[in-house]
Amino acid sequence: MIIVLGQVTVAPTDTQTFLEDIAGIDPSVRADSGCMSYSVSVSDQAEGRMLVVERWLDEASLKAHLRSAAVAASGDRWSGRMSGAVRVYDAANERPLPH
């Protein structure tokens, strides 16, 4: 499994527009082959900071997602208006949280 995790920041006045853009592509992303979960949420409204959390079946699924028309169009819309650090992690040995 592949985990994508990090933060992106937009101008605080653009936060709602950014979330609306993400909501617009969300259904197609969730339908992408290999998408196990996909979430973008506000972590600090005043700073325009978002938390990005995604789970993908494998690297090939993630790469196909990143090449999709919806992701490319969103990237074009936010190019130069978004910053942050989002990283990709390989995950193994998934298990429930211990009690």
Q: Would you write out the chain's pLDDT as a tens digit for each of its 99 residues?
A: 999 999 999 999 999 999 999 998 878 888 888 999 999 999 999 999 999 999 999 999 999 999 998 889 998 999 999 999 999 999 998 899 998
Domain that holds residue 77: 2-87
DSSP string, 55-85: EESSHHHHHHHHTSHHHHHHHHHHTTTEEEE
Query: Which CATH number belongs to the domain containing residue 47 in this structure?
Result: 3.30.70.100
Q: What global pTM score does this model have?
A: 0.88
34 CB burial (10 A radius; 0-12, 13-18, 19+):
middle
Residue 94 lies in a domain: no
Task: Look at the chain and report how many structural domains it folds into.
Answer: 1
As a whole number of angstroms, the distance between CA 36 and CA 25 comes to: 16
